[in-house]
Amino acid sequence: MKIGVLALQGAIQDHERVLRRLGAVTVQVRHPSDLEGLRGLILPGGESTVMAMYLREYGLDSAIRARVVDGLSVFGVCAGAILLCTEVEGPEGVVSGALALLGVRAIRNAYGRQLSSFEEPVDFEGSPFPGIYIRAPRFIPIGSTEVLGRRPPARGGEPVLLRQAGILAASFHPELSGNDGIHRMFLQSCKS
Q: Is 120 a binder of ligand GLN (CB under 6 A)?
A: no
46 binds ligand GLN (CB under 6 A): yes
Of 28-36, 45-53, 64-72, 142-150, the segment contacting ligand GLN by CB under 6 A is 45-53
Stretch that binds ligand GLN, among 64-72, 76-84, 93-101, 158-166 (CB under 6 A): 76-84
Stretch that binds ligand GLN, among 30-38, 75-83, 159-167, 182-190 (CB under 6 A): 75-83
Amino acid at 97: G
Minimum gap (Å) between residue 81 Cβ and ligand GLN: 8
Q: Which of 32, 47, 164, 180 binds ligand GLN (CB under 6 A)?
A: 47
Say which amino acid occupies 64.
I
Residues that bind ligand GLN (CB under 6 A): 45-48, 78-79, 82, 108-109, 134-135
